[in-house]
Every structure is written in structure tokens, then in C-alpha cells.
Amino acid sequence: MIPLPNECLIKILSNFKSNYRCLFSCLLVNRNWCRIIVPFLWSEPTEYFNDKRLIRTYLLLLNVEEQTLLIPFEIIIPNYPKPLFEYTRYATSVGIYLHDGVKNWLKEEGYGEERRNLIFNNDDYDDYDDHWPVNTVKCSLIALFLRTSKNLKILRFEGIIYDKKIFQYLYENTTITYLDFYTDNFDSRALEILLEVLCRNTTLISLNLSYNELNTKGWKAIAKALCKNEEKQ
């Protein structure tokens, strides 16, 4: 019997991309099927970001620079063998639910017992107590997705951007079509790079900058960049 070419298998299996139970079963058929199915399983992780296991897997893929951001907060990075696949490269969307997943992971696994008790197990704890470490982990993961994913279409980010490299990756990105930034820390350099991104990225069809505390000059510069972008299309 002549085996089906990969193109046919991809077409057939794509019809089951929302049936995860079926796809997980197909993973075990052989290595070739596994290589075909993994991109389907990991293409839209957004709605499962609140699962700490997913966050743990992604953290294993951080490079040294992305890990360095976490050191000041005494965050314990998972110490497991690297995954067989670079799962982040298949992601097509990263949404705001990333916040919940990072928060769950930090609470359960991200700190040593003493620090975890200090932060979470006290009568005065509120959500703001872990605000900075949560946002820092999110920044490292966003940088990871931008660095590795070749298919990222949607990026939604809420919080302070600690790693300015995120803007550099955005400048180099040519796939994102929907970009939402709910952040209030656009300093002059970050705004400068964002303007370059808006001028250069001809794939962008939606931009949301709600709740950003930009002054009139900043908003005018963004409007001008968007006009230049429109002229290129």
C-alpha cells in the first residue's frame, strides 16, 4: 500500500484541529504523524493559558536573556529536560489569559516554600503583591513567542513591558495582524520603536492602544505612522 503524502495527511488531519482528544490519539501512530499533529495542537494555546502545566512547558524554552529578567524576583525556573519540540513556534495567538496562567504557575511552582508563604499565605495578601513578578514572567514569555513563532497573528498584552526587546521583535515581525497593548509605560524609546513598527508592518489590520497614557504629541505621531502604513498598502 502506497503511503499518503504529507500534504494529504495535513489536509485530512486539519479537519480535526479542534478535536484534541482525537489528535492526541493520532500522535502515537508514528513519528511522521506526530510531526504533523504537534503544530495543530499548539497553534492556539490562548484559551488554555490558565493551565500552569502549559506555562511550565513554555518556560523551559526561555533563552538565557529571557531567564535573566526573572532572577531579581527569586523565581524558580523549571529544571526539566527541554521539550522535544519548540512548541512556541506554532502559536498563532497570544491573549490576555496568559496573565492567569502565569499567576497560577507562580502560586503553585514559581517560588520556594518560604517565599511562597511570605507572598500568598498571609492575611494582608492582595492581587497587587505579585503584580511585578507576574508581569515580568509575561514579558519573558511574550519575548519568547515573538522570537520563535513564525505564524503569530494575534498578540494581546496587558501590563507593564519590562523588556524593551519586545518592541525590537515586533519591529522584525511580519506576521502579526491584530495587536493590542493595554500598557501605560511607553517611554520615548519604546514609542519610537512602536512608530517604526507601525510604519513598517503592512500586515497589521487592527491596533488597540486602550488605557495608554500617551500625550497629544505621542498620539499624533501614531496617527502619522498609521497614515504612512496605509500609503504603503
The DSSP string of 43-96 is: S--GGGTT-HHHHHHHHTT--HHHHHTTGGGT-----SPPPSS-GGGG--EE-T
Residues β-bridged to residue 155: 94, 179
The label of the residue with cell 496573565 reads: 99
User: Would you kindly state where each structural domain of the chain is located, as residue ranges?
Assistant: 1-41, 43-232
What is the CB neighbour count within 10 angstroms for residue 74? 12
Among the ranges given (87-91, 130-134, 173-177), the one the predictor scored with the smallest mean pLDDT: 130-134
Please report the pLDDT score of residue 199 as a whole number. Answer: 79
CA distance 144 to 20: 24
What is the CB neighbour count within 10 angstroms for residue 161? 21
pLDDT tens digits, residue range 145-174? Answer: 999 998 999 998 877 776 778 888 888 888
What global pTM score does this model have?
0.85
Asked: is 43-232 a CATH 2.60.98 domain? The reply is no
